[in-house]
Structure 1
Amino acid sequence: MTSITRNLPWFIKDLGVATVGQKCYVSLVENLNVEDVECLKYSLSKGLGLGIVLGGSIMKVPQLLLIVSAKSARGLSLSAYTLETLSYAITLVYSYRNSFPFSTYGENFFLTLQNILITFLIIHYPASRLTRPRSSSAQRLTLAIALTGVAGFALYSIPPATLSALQLATIPLSLFSKIPQIRQNQRARSTGQLSAFAVISQIVGCLARLFTTAAEVGDLILSAGFALALLLNCVLGVQMWAYWGKDGKEASIPVVVTHTENEKEKIPAAAWQQDGKVEVVVPPASPATPGVRQQPGRRWARKVD
């Protein structure tokens, strides 16, 4: 068997050496030494790390598609995504500037980009089309893009000591980034457009990252951050399970009253929330009179912009 493993095509050998290193490749692949615990542990860490990076490249795509297809960011907290994006960006720059292996932080690159897009979409699609004009959303979006560029340049340029302090600050930052979303879910009794795939992927990713960080980097600051993120993502997972299929508590809806010649029509001011249409049944204007045939209540649908 070793005669085969020692004569594998060059591109397979180069890929293996690049992934686990020359020593572990020779031990595990060429010599089939399955008792080499250190190399087995290191190879498992590398495999998990690459899997997390690949998973991170699509982790938030379902969330993006949910927002775009619904043209709504209902249930998503802008402050939560802003803080989470900043946390991802700090970890990305900190790991890159400390020359950590890409397999230990690569998903942060993709998650930062995806979170930036989600944050922009939350700003672009207002929570209420009745209260926020489109021009206001455009101005806020322009300001968000400018602030993103400034923050990226600042993170890349600051001294290493300051960057280390910022990485330490990602621990409370992770806490504050999840709490607004958790509170919003609890208050609404619904997770809105929050993606179950994204939440579950983050839980699995944090578990795997705890292992890979301990095996390859040994950075206590990174490990503490992943441990806290795992705890908070588990809380989101429990909320996702508890509120699955629920649209949230019925809020009190103001009523707009308009008068016609013979009757009053009551139309919910937030009727646009139900597919843009509302059905209203208008009862007869007066009680039935003997000998006079009454018209039945009129049923009609009104389009509300």
Structure 2
Amino acid sequence: MEALRGWLVPFLLPERCFDELFLRLHLLHVPCLKILLSKVLGYAIVAGSVMVKLPQVLKVAGARSGAGLSLPAVLLELLALGGSGAYRWARAFPFSAWGEALFLLLQTLTIAFLIQHFGGRTGRGLLLVAGYAALLGALLSPRTPLALTTLLQAANLPIIILSRLLQALANYRQGHTGQLSGVSTALLLGGALARIFTSLQETGDALLALTFAASAACNGLLLAQLLYYRGPRPPPQGD
């Protein structure tokens, strides 16, 4: 039992919940079950985030084109991910509450570089990666005021909405979704929905939960467009 305690505490359960569930055998202890569910979901989201945008990366790389993807939307998403990750890091939230931001950030940065690279602007892409790395390093510095990261987290709500709406507008104008990946969009929607619960349970941060709710709604819009525009892409119009 002590070996099990060492494995579960504190990664999945606090000490008191381990005692309730495994020593007193109160298997229907709702508060502790909610904590366990939140932790398991949190780590599952972090693990899944390693591959959430991989389908999108592979789709762009395979087509050697970022056609249909809105670069301003991708850049805004990078800003939102950096601000959110820095906020959660500064508040010392557990890894299960912020780990996916790191992996999503790395994959989104890769997509931004590929859009530039396949657009014949490799130099700009490299400058983007270097500049973003410097910005992220500054945000994660212990010298960065908590008030600044809190402001960035608050700004995430309009940033996320704007970034998704820019992509939705690009889809509407083109009449197709280009290289936008349906798998990645569906996974982002599912992850955002799960994060609403885990954020409230693990951090009690209503601002964070509201941000994920907005993200879920916007990803739902993009998924609806993917379903609406599915099928062969219309041929380009001649002169």
Normalised by the length of structure 2, the TM-score is: 0.93
Q: Is the 8 A contact 1:63 1:193 kept in 2?
A: yes
Q: 2:138 aligned with 1:146, yes or no?
A: no
Q: Deviations over 1:182-218 (max 9, x none)?
A: 0111112211111111111111111110001111111
TM-superposed deviation, 1:32: 2.8
Shift of 1:140: 1.3
Higher helix proportion: 2
Task: Look up the match of 2:164.
Answer: 178
Q: Which residue of 1 aligns with 2:177?
A: 191
CA contact (8 A) 1:88 1:112 kept: yes
Alpha-carbon spacing, 1:29–1:190, altered in 2? closer, same or farther (3 Å): farther
Give per-residue Cα distances to partners, 1:158-183, cap 9 Å, x unaligned: 31111111110111100111111101
Which has the larger strand fraction? 1
Secondary structure (helix, strand or coil) at the match of 2:51 reads coil
Deviations 1:112-132 (A, max 9, x none): 111111110011111xxxxxx
The aligned runs of 1:1-305 (5 Å cut-off) are: 7=1, 10=3, 12-18=4-10, 19-126=12-119, 134=120, 137-157=121-141, 158-247=144-233, 249-254=234-239
Whether contact under 8 Å (1:42, 1:215) holds in the other structure is yes
Question: Hey, what does 1:299 align to over in structure 2?
Answer: none
How big is the alpha-carbon RMSD for the aligned residues of Structure 1 and Structure 2?
A: 1.5
- Where do 5+ consecutive residues of structure 1 fail to align? 1-6, 127-133, 255-305
The DSSP-based 3-state class of the residue aligned with 1:105 is helix
Alpha carbons 2:113, 2:122 under 8 Å: kept: no
Report the AA paired with residue 127 of structure 2.
L
Does structure 2 conserve the Cα–Cα contact (< 8 Å) formed by 1:189 and 1:246?
Answer: no
The answer to whether the Cα contact below 8 Å between 1:200 and 1:237 also exists between their aligned partners in 2 is yes
- Matched position secondary structure for 2:180: coil
Return the offset for 1:154.
3.0
Deviation at 1:153, TM superposition (A): 2.8
Structure with bigger gyration radius: 1
Report the more deviating stretch, 34-43 or 20-29: 20-29
**Secondary structure at 1:15's aligned position in 2?**
helix
- Is the 1:60–1:114 contact (alpha carbons within 8 Å) kept by the matching residues of 2? yes
Cα shift readout 1:215-271 (whole Å, capped 9, x = no counterpart): 111112111111111110110110111112231x444233xxxxxxxxxxxxxxxxx
Unmatched segments (≥5 aa) in structure 2: none
User: TM-score w.r.t. structure 1 length?
Assistant: 0.74
Which letter maps to 1:195? S
Whole-Å separation in 1 of the counterparts to 2:118 and 2:22:
52
* Residues in 2 aligned to 1:200 and 1:48: alpha-carbon distance in whole angstroms: 17
Shift of 1:151: 1.7
Q: Which runs of 4+ in 1 moved over 6 A?
A: none
1:17-51: CA deviations, max 9, x gaps?
13112221222234331221100111111111111
Q: What is the CA–CA distance in structure 2 between the aligned matches of 1:29 and 1:183, rounded to whole Å?
A: 53
Identity %: 36
Aligned to 1:267: none
Q: 1:49-106: CA deviations, max 9, x gaps?
A: 1111111111011111111111111111111111111111111111011101111111
Question: Which secondary structure state, in structure 1, belongs to the residue aligned with residue 102 of structure 2?
Answer: helix
Work out the CA distance in 1 between the residues paired with 2:174 and 2:232.
10
Contact kept, 8 Å, 1:190 with 1:246, in 2: the verdict is: no
Instruction: Using CA pairs under 8 Å that are at least 6 residues apart, name the structure with larger relative contact order, 1 or 2.
Output: 2
CA contact (8 A) 2:66 2:179 kept: yes
Q: 1:206·1:229 contact (CA, 8 Å) conserved in 2?
A: yes
